Amino acid sequence: MDALIDEYGGMTPQELAAPVNTIEEKWKLLPAFLKVKGLVKQHIDSFNYFINVEIKKIMKANEKITSDADPMWYLKYLNIYVGMPDVEESFNVTRPVSPHECRLRDMTYSAPITVDIEYTRGSQRIIRNALPIGRMPIMLRSSNCVLTGKTPAEFSKLNECPLDPGGYFIVKGQEKVILIQEQLSKNRIIVEADRKGAVGASVTSSTHEKKSRTNMAVRQGRFYLRHNTLSEDAPIAIIFKAMGVESDQEIVQMIGTEEHVMAAFAPSLEECQKAQIFTQTQALKYIGNKVRRQRMWGGPKKTKMEEARELLASTILTHVPVKEFNFRAKCIYLAVMVRRVILAQGDNKVDDRDYYGNKRLELAGQLARLMFSFLISLLNSELKKISDQIIPKQRAAQFDVVKHMRQDQITNGLVNAISTGNWSLKRFKMDRQGVTQVLSRLSYISALGMMTRISSQFEKTRKVSGPRSLQPSQWGMLCPSDTPEGEACGLVKNLALMTHITTDMEDGPIIKLAFNLGVEDVNLLCGEELSYPSVFLVFLNGNILGVIRDHQKLVNTFRLMRRAGFINEFVSISTNLTDRCVYISSDGGRLCRPYIIVKKGMPAVKNKHIEELAQGYRNFEDFLHESLVEYLDVNEENDCSIALYEHMINKDTTHLEIEPFTLLGVCAGLIPYPHHNQSPRNTYQCAMGKQAMGTIGYNQRNRIDTLMYLLAYPQKPMVKTKTIELIDFEKLPAGQNATVAVMSYSGYDIEDALVLNKASLDRGFGRCLVYKNAKCTLKRYTNQTFDKVMGPMLDAATRKPIWRHEILDADGICSPGEKVENKQVLVNKSMPTITQTPLEGSTQPQQPQFRDVPVTYKGSTDSYIEKVMISSNADDAFLIKILLRQTRRPEIGDKFSSRHGQKGVCGLIVPQEDMPFCDSGICPDIIMNPHGYPSRMTVGKLIELLAGKAGVLDGRFHYGTAFGGSKVKDVCEDLIRYGYNYLGKDYVTSGITGEPLEAYIYFGPVYYQKLKHMVLDKMHARARGPRAVLTRQPTEGRSRDGGLRLGEMERDCLIGYGASMLLLERLMISSDAFEVDVCGQCGLLGYSGWCHYCKSSCHVSSLRIPYACKLLFQELQSMNIVPRLKLSPYNE
Amino acid sequence: MSGNDVEEQENQQCAEMAAPRSNVEEIRDRVILGEFGVRNVHTTDFPGNYPGYDDTWNRKKFEEKFRIDVIRMDENTLEFDMVGIDAAIANAFRRILLAEVPTMAIEKVFVYNNTSIVQDEILAHRLGLIPIKADPRLFEYRNAGDEEGTDIDTIQLQLKIKCTRNPRASKDSSDPSELYINHMVYSRDIKWTPLGNQADLFAEAGISPVHGDILIAQLRPGQELDIVMHCVKGVGKDHAKFSPVATASYRLLPEITLLQPVEGELAEKLKRCFSPGVIEIESDGGKKFAKVANSRLDTCSREVFRHDDLKNIVKLGRVRNHFIFSVESTGILSHVILVSEAIKVLMAKCDKFLSELDSAEVD
């Protein structure tokens, strides 16, 4: 109550009762936010933090190398830098390189890592500056990328698209994204029940050096500690004693002196008693016997006790610092763990693993950090090994480490990790596959969608619903719609529009502040205070900081300090009333998003602030600094009362949502009126938006990708959303506004098929360009021979190039603009027959022999050569890239979809004159069957049509933003004004009969996407064709011109029907029939009318069996099994 | 016939129609727009279908009833009424206009040089859709397989343009139109190269794109286009580029019947439910009456049906055999010629059919 008077005391009743004014256009905060944070910024921020800050810390951690051979010798890193991306032109000559050049030339966009070192050579101490130790792939648009701070004009000079988000790497010419990895947060106590319902606690500790997992389990009422390094579970009381808390009373005091807590812990003490362990020495001995032996190389031999003490200090609960074997903090931590378990046992208050406050997202920076620190320690150990080996040997020249510092290890380590996506680091018990993926450039949206993708560490095969289902704490942080269907459903997620992921930050100042605000240091407490009902425990990043009496004041002051800018805006503080804790977090990987601060029931952001923002006097940072807006992470959100709209603000409200549509991600943001759709439809559209063809970037015509789909005439959607504007989808659209008539027509529209207007296709609707590339390199071989490109071969009679070489220029490479047909040669390359250096003695032929290895064009349809690039790649080999182009108009079987998960293939193309037309003479581009609506319930599409129609008539774009957008009523009033039906249903005349249709037709524009699936790439048939070598059966798959399999189930049908001759024909005659000679006497296969076993030909008869059958017999024979055939005349 | 005359006539007609009609008459002559659907959509006046009606076709009766009134004619559009004919025939004219009246359009594109960013195929497609002002009646169809073409079936056009920097552009300009010359390629840059005696034959009219301001491509300094095109005669069903009309369509004459007098506020409301000019308010001794002034102007938005107090006092219908045609020409041929050409095409089809019938009898 006091607090309320405090806050509202100065206000009159009128003021209190006044309604909260809505803030006009507060969505304008969004573009301002996206300018500083958001979408791809988290990748870039994380990587920037790594190359500018973290890399120096890693260097500090691995600072010094000494040698066992010479105590005087050392090497010390003084500083480390990551430079700007460059490329080595020739020896020691470098020049800056642009990302696009790397893409085209199959190079890695990387910058040198240089170090300043200090080392000894003989008795000299030498300082070397800027010594390269390897190359670091550079994330595009990061602080070290050439693109940062450039204007759009400069971007175009570098052949780069200004709308491209960056945040990916270019490795060996491929664009690679390090996906965001989701995992359980480190260093936090998680209390949970196991399958049998027994409660236990676990902590995954992680520091820069080590990672370990400590479990606490309860068996028969006794507490045990479980750890990988211990061969069996250790009673907890023994652990306490081993850590120096010998008195049972002290243990109990730390855990808690309440009646039920003591009762629950008593059996554990008893067990310790039974084991006859009373002192620290006894306990350490006990544990020492249970330590799993680890292979240790080198180092002085330790006793078991020492080993146990070492283990307790460094491996168990690694993240709790232990200095000089002062286990105080660790004991308290352990006691808190025990207490948590005891308290959870009663009323089963276990933690939720799937709660997003307990999750951390790992970004490119963190993953690169792990890899880099592994590589640098590898380099150090290698240098140490070398120094150990070389120093003892007397040499003329003194040992100089610099000569032994290899650059390629770090370079290759990083490049291979990113290009294969395998992160296997033994030290961190990490072995992950598929961390990186090739950036999908199918459309702008697919690329953006990939940058916001989060992959979960759960196995896809496990059939648990928990991690897959939508979590309430996910609100506003992760998109509820954007997840794939099928096996990865719910495990792969996407960030929402305003989510930011924190990076690590210094915790020193926070500790200081906390102590100043009245937190009592744990190390100064006797232990019993922890469980006092009057105090709250204070945690910082999972470590116990101390206790506080007035937690509310601590939290409030802390927040005030943060709003005032004294501590980082991403530090979060929240109370947990059930656990009686205050959690302060400053670690990286937390999800957070900005909210408007509400004070005294009034939002801090006023209209004038937004006006100033619009005028450019203010930016988002100013809003933060003036404490108008602040970031909340998931845990702190739980501590706040957040109003969705202004009118929902009440006296308890602390924050106000900026815009509700930001809870959706990039892909779901494209859907107009998604709040009117059935939820799975939005999910389907999220998947399909990534397959839509359109434009992929302003530099699309400069790219030579393996596969690229472009639309000939892309259009802005008539019904757009705020998200569409924010992510610049309008500038790089993927789809066309088609006039749709929702009606049945011709019967070729069943099962979601669409009927297209031929005239629309003639005029360019759905016309697309498909680009593919062909590539070849001309290598040099070890024996000084090299690949050659020969000119076209001439026909002897006509002196004209032969057909296969028709399109070649005199240089043997095809020329741009030419039409290529199947099997024609693109590059007439030939290769020397001998590429190895011959053995000594054998004479090298004077003229090397060449063999043709042409690059030929394969494809059922002709292509045109768009451009030819001749360059050299990173290995200095000659590189030829050819871009091939096809222009396709839609045909029957091509796939289209609207933005509402309504996909369909073209079922019929109808001439314009047969199309129905309305009074104004408009005929539809697409006819869609109305049966698509009732079961799908995509009301959003119906509204899109109305809004689109009104927009077309009015000459403006309508909004279909989620939870907002143009109102149906207003839109329909517009229709009326222009003389159209209120419901959007028009009177339509049949184009075939000329008479009106009996029904009114829902008629208007809908944004349609052309999807990448086209019949041309899929159609396949075969009469005769290639066969597999081993079985002589037809090959499999379209790419090998394979047959269509008559499978097991089809075979069953034929058996059931009794069509034996058809079976025989399908399975043998048309497949792999084979004539064999079989000896009727011994039943073995003969050859050429002769039985090799019987040495006779009198019983040999010839019959047809499948070749696979004959193969089976022979394989069995090879395994010492004799299959014998029994023959008898078939008429017997 | 002037526009006013027509309107007057219309008004008279409307007055006549407002009179109560027999049910059969309505089924025969009117398409009824209901709230949820259209009724009586089909033609039913087959001979013998209705007792008491003589529906046998006879030329005299047809000639009496049939008329074509031109309502509006401006540069590109023609609106005319076709009254007293069956939907099938009216539709045939519409279909022929869309698909079977021939025009000349670019069919073959020979790209000698194209260094612009527009792909050859896309460029060819764009060129094809440009309407070419040439009278198709003076040309023949090109024979199948003929690649070369002659002066009687081909028009040769050329587009040769190169973009250069403007030497007189001010230094700090960033406006492409000031910096470069020829950076926008318009259809007016297409030049006709007469074949054979075409130069004399078409000297007067000349051959060129109908519209000069169609943007074909954008260039930057150093890029150039060198293209030769062949225009060929073709029909719209082959490709939409040959279609001589932007669109040709018709609607039926709307007819609005007030079933009871509508007065006062309701009249105002009724007026708002229709397109402007359809309902007029007449005051008669202080009372306001709604009167159907010109139902032709109605767009059939059926707004009345949304008002419960109005929906039962208005009947919306359309005259089954009164077609309001609207023909929008692309500008190659005038709309009047297009319609007469369409009629000729239909006549030719009939002749063909008749001769086929005759020859069938011989067999």
Q: To probe the interface with A, which of B103, B110, B125 has the most A CB atoms within 10 Å?
A: B125
Q: What is the pLDDT of residue A577?
A: 85
CATH fold of the domain at B26-101+244-259+313-351: Gyrase A; domain 2 (3.30.1360)
Give the least confident one: A32-36, A373-377, B18-22: B18-22
- Nearest residue of B to residue A759 by CA position? B240
- The answer to whether the beta carbons of residues B82 and B346 sit under 8 Å apart is no
C-beta atoms of B125 and A997 within 8 A:
no
Give whole-number Cα distances, A853 to A828, A881, B267, in Å: 7, 16, 87
- The arithmetic mean of pLDDT across residues A719-723, rounded, is 92
B111 to chain A, closest Cα gap in Å: 9
Q: Which residues of B touch A817 (CB under 8 A)?
A: 111, 114, 120
Q: Hey, are the CB atoms on B239 and A1000 less than 8 Å from each other?
A: no
Are A998 and B41 in contact (CB < 8 Å)? yes
Contacts of A982 in chain B (CB under 8 A): 301, 303, 306
Give the least confident one: A194-203, A543-552, B112-121: A194-203
Lowest-confidence range among A128-137, A326-335, A659-668?
A326-335
Q: How far apart are CA B256 and CA A54, in angstroms?
A: 80
The rounded distance, in Å, linking the Cα atoms of A666 and A167 is 16
What is the predicted pLDDT for the residue at A782? 82
For residue A474, the SS3 value is helix
pLDDT, tens digit, for every residue of A81-105?
999 999 887 777 888 999 999 999 9
Closest approach of chain B CAs to the CA of A857, in angstroms? 20
What pLDDT sits at residue A408? 87
| pLDDT for B9 beyond 60 | no
User: What confidence category does residue B15 fall into, taking pLDDT thresholds of 50, 70 and 90?
Assistant: very low
Q: How far is A759 from chain B (nearest CA, A)?
A: 5
Q: What is the mean pLDDT of residues A790-797?
A: 88
Of A456, A467, A527, give the one whose Cα is nearest residue A492.
A456
Q: What span, in angstroms and rounded, lies between the C-alpha atoms of B205 and B136?
A: 13
* Residues of chain A positioned with their CB less than 8 A from the CB of B241: 762
Mark yes or no for CB contact B240/A759 under 8 Å.
yes
CATH number of B103-241: 2.170.120.12
What is the arithmetic mean of pLDDT over B196-223?
90
Question: Is the pLDDT reported for residue A20 higher than 70?
Answer: no
Would the pLDDT of B4 be above 70? no
Distance (Å, whole) CA A449 – CA A441: 10
Residue of A nearest to B251 (CA): A919
Determine what percent of chain A is predicted with pLDDT higher than 90.
42
ipTM score of complex: 0.90
Give residue-wise pLDDT tens across range A418-436.
999 888 887 777 788 888 9
Among A701, A989, A999, select the one facing B117 at the smallest CB separation. Answer: A701
- Rounded mean pLDDT of chain B? 88
Q: What is the mean pLDDT of chain A?
A: 87
Residue A238, token pair as written in the block: 């023994």
- Residue to test with chain B: of A713, A757, A913, most B Cβ within 10 A: A913
Q: Are A721 and A661 in contact (CB under 8 A)?
A: yes
* Nearest beta carbon to residue B125 from set A764, A975, A991: A764
Cβ neighbours for A1091, distance < 8 A, ≥ 6 positions apart: A1077, A1079, A1081, A1082, A1084, A1097, A1099, A1100
Does A762 sit within 8 Å of B241, measured CB to CB?
yes
pLDDT tens for each residue of B43-60: 988 888 888 888 888 899
Neighbours of A1016 (CB within 10 A): 14
pLDDT at A840 over 70: no
**Best CA proximity match to A691, nearest among A484, A1019, A1007, A440:** A440
CA distance linking residue B105 with residue B230, whole number of Å: 8
Domain coordinates in residue numbering, chain B? 26-101+244-259+313-351, 103-241
- Tell me what the mean pLDDT of segment A158-172 comes to: 91
The predicted pLDDT at position A529 comes to: 78
For residue A998, give the nearest of B37, B90, B243 by CB distance: B37
Question: What average pLDDT score do residues B217-233 get?
Answer: 93
CB < 8 Å to B299, chain A: 919, 979-980
Arithmetic mean of pLDDT, A457-480? 80
Which of A1048 and A835 is assigned the larger pLDDT?
Answer: A1048
d(Cα A907, Cα A749) in Å, to the nearest integer?
6
Taking CA–CA distances from A994, the nearest residue in chain B reads B91
- A364 vs A13: which has the higher pLDDT: A364
Give the pLDDT of residue A301: 65
Torsion of CA A1114, A1119, A1120, A1121, to 10 degrees: -60
A73: pLDDT confidence band, cut at 50, 70 and 90? confident
| Residue A490: predicted pLDDT | 86
Contact A993 B91 (CB under 8 A): yes
**Looking at residue A1097, what is its pLDDT?**
87
In this complex, do A912 and B236 lie within 8 Å of one another by their Cβ atoms?
A: yes
Q: CB–CB of A993 and B248 under 8 A?
A: no
B171 vs B242, residue with greater confidence: B242
* Cα–Cα distance measured from residue B272 to residue A89, given in angstroms and rounded to the nearest whole number: 78
What are the residues of chain A with a beta carbon less than 8 Å away from any beta carbon of chain B? 701, 712, 758-759, 762-764, 767, 769, 817, 864, 866, 885, 887, 911-913, 917, 919-923, 975-976, 979-982, 987, 989, 991, 993-1000
Q: Do A997 and B38 touch (CB under 8 A)?
A: yes
Taking an 8 Å cut-off on Cβ atoms, the answer to whether A982 and B250 are in contact is no
B131-180 pLDDT tens trace: 999 999 999 999 888 888 888 899 999 999 999 998 888 888 888 888 99
Rounded distance between C-alpha atoms, residue B300 and residue A981, angstroms: 8
What is the 8-class DSSP label of residue A393?
Answer: S
Condensed to tens digits (0 to 9), the pLDDT of residues A860-879 reads: 899 999 999 999 888 878 89
Structure confidence at residue A277 as a pLDDT band (50, 70, 90): confident
Is the CB of B251 less than 8 angstroms away from the CB of A919? yes
Q: Residue B38: which of A764, A994, A998 has the nearest Cβ?
A: A998
pLDDT band (50, 70, 90) for residue A212: confident
Task: Mark whether A579 is an active-site residue.
Answer: no
Predicted pLDDT at B18: 45
For residue A1001, the distance in angstroms to the closest alpha carbon of chain B comes to 10
A918 pLDDT band (50/70/90 cuts)? Answer: very high
- For residue A767, list chain B residues with Cβ-Cβ distance below 8 A: 122, 125
Across A19-37, average pLDDT: 74
- Give the span between the Cα atoms of A774 and A863, in whole angstroms: 12
Chain B nearest-CA residue for A998 = B38
Distance from CA of B2 to the nearest CA of A (A): 24
The pLDDT > 70 percentage for chain B reads: 93
- So what's the pLDDT on residue B16? 44
pLDDT of B3 reads 44
Nearest CB among B88, B94, B299 relative to A979 is that of B299
Q: What does the pLDDT average to over A172-191?
A: 89
pLDDT at A1053: 96
pLDDT at residue A165 is higher than 80: yes
Helices within A50-83 (DSSP H only): 55-61
Say whether A762 and B239 touch across the interface (CB within 8 A): yes
Predicted local distance difference test score (pLDDT) of residue B17 = 45
The pLDDT value given to residue B187: 93
Nearest one of A750, A731, A752 to A681, comparing CA atoms: A752
Q: What is the DSSP letter of A845?
A: P
Give the residue-averaged pLDDT of A733-740: 95
Predicted confidence band of residue B13 (pLDDT cuts 50, 70, 90): very low
Chain A residues in contact with B38 by the CB 8 A cut-off are 987, 996-1000
- Is the pLDDT higher at B3 or at A745? A745
Closest CB to A762 among B37, B240, B328? B240
Substitution target in B119, B175, B250 with the highest count of A β-carbons within 10 Å is B119
Residue A1025 has pLDDT above 80, yes or no: yes
Q: What whole-number distance in Å separates Cα of residue A719 and Cα of residue A672? A: 7
How many CB atoms within 10 Å of residue B267? Answer: 22
pLDDT band at B361 (very low <50, low <70, confident <90, very high): low
Domains of chain A and any CATH numbers:
7-21+500-663 (3.90.1070.20), 38-182+361-433 (3.90.1100.10), 194-354 (3.90.1110.10), 672-679+720-767+895-1010 (2.40.270.10), 769-835+848-888 (2.40.50.150), 1038-1119 (3.90.1800.10)
Which chain A residues are closer than 8 Å to B92 by Cβ?
Answer: 994
Q: Catalytic one among A752, A954, A1017, A1077?
A: A752
Greater confidence (A31 vs B185) lies with B185
